[in-house]
Amino acid sequence: MGEDSPYRVLARKYRPTNFSDLIGQEALVRTVTNAIHTGRLAHAFLLTGVRGVGKTSTARILARALNCTGSPGQKDAGDADGEDSGPTAEPCGRCEHCVAIAEDRHVDVLEIDAASHTGVDDMRELIDGVRYRPTSARYRVYIIDEVHMLSKQAFNALLKTLEEPPPHAKFIFATTEVRKLPVTVLSRCQRFDLRRVDMETLTAHFQMVAEKEQVEIELAAIRLIARAADGSVRDGLSLLDQAIAHGAGAAG
């Protein structure tokens, strides 16, 4: 990193970019991979779990998997030279769709924070755009974070689209409060529960991060951070950031 480059916090720098990077979520990875390989992908996905376990990261990886055109055998959705082989469980990270999604600038992947867009008017505006085909991608993907924050009227407006979705639209919902979602919405989603990450897995991950950052930190300190993280990768990386700053980040 150059001297003029802005510092990127560890939670962003080490955010997973493909399914194999997801920490401690082997069951989810296996299920999603099998669903992609067998072509049994739902039109709506629900990702649940406590904060910091990777719900939003998983949603973005899934959006890339749905639209990647750079993996072996993949074809662009609008390529006339060959048949589109569909989504891949191993997004390449290099094609125009993967890069644009990673940089939060893909016109066909919309990420909405339900906490600040709770009303029925916000949902109607979203739904109005669902009927249009994607501009360049295979699917138009709607990622709605903290979906439990939507109002009852907003859920009712969304429900009709979930009942009869257009083939080019995919919805990915993320929530920490799955019990607050209407049963009518739950029943129309393919649900994935992200687990708290166990302490040993977190310890190993934080050790790897410290090594890559060339920082000297005792194993006992890393274990303390992993315990305090309480199953959250993001919280643990934030604590590790603080610990490095507090110790002046002695280089290895």
Query: What pLDDT does residue 117 have?
Result: 85
**What pTM was estimated for this model as a whole?**
0.88
Helices and strands of the chain, counted as H and E runs: 10, 5
Residue 210 pLDDT greater than 80, yes or no = yes
Distance of alpha carbon 90 from alpha carbon 228, whole angstroms:
33
Query: What pLDDT does residue 4 have?
Result: 57
The phi, psi pair for 35, rounded to 5°, reads -65, -40
Residue 146 pLDDT greater than 70, yes or no = yes
Query: What pLDDT does residue 74 have?
Result: 57
140-145: strand order across its sheet = 109-113, 140-145, 169-175, 44-48, 190-193
Residue 112 pLDDT greater than 80, yes or no = yes
Q: What is the pLDDT of residues 1-56, one digit of tens each?
A: 445 567 789 999 999 999 989 999 999 999 999 999 998 889 999 999 999 999 99
| 3-state secondary structure (DSSP) of residue 77 | coil
Residue 206 pLDDT greater than 90, yes or no = yes
Residue 215 pLDDT greater than 50, yes or no = yes
Of the listed ranges 68-72, 119-123, 240-244, the one predicted with least confidence = 68-72
- Across the chain, what does the average pLDDT equal? 89
Q: What is the pLDDT of residues 161-182, one digit of tens each?
A: 999 999 999 999 999 999 999 9
Query: What pLDDT does residue 3 have?
Result: 52
Residue 234 pLDDT greater than 60, yes or no = yes
| Rg of the chain in Å (alpha carbons) | 19
Comparing CA positions, the residue from 37, 31, 28 lying closest to residue 55 is 28
Residue 236 pLDDT greater than 90, yes or no = yes
- Residue 80's pLDDT band, with cuts at 50, 70 and 90, is very low
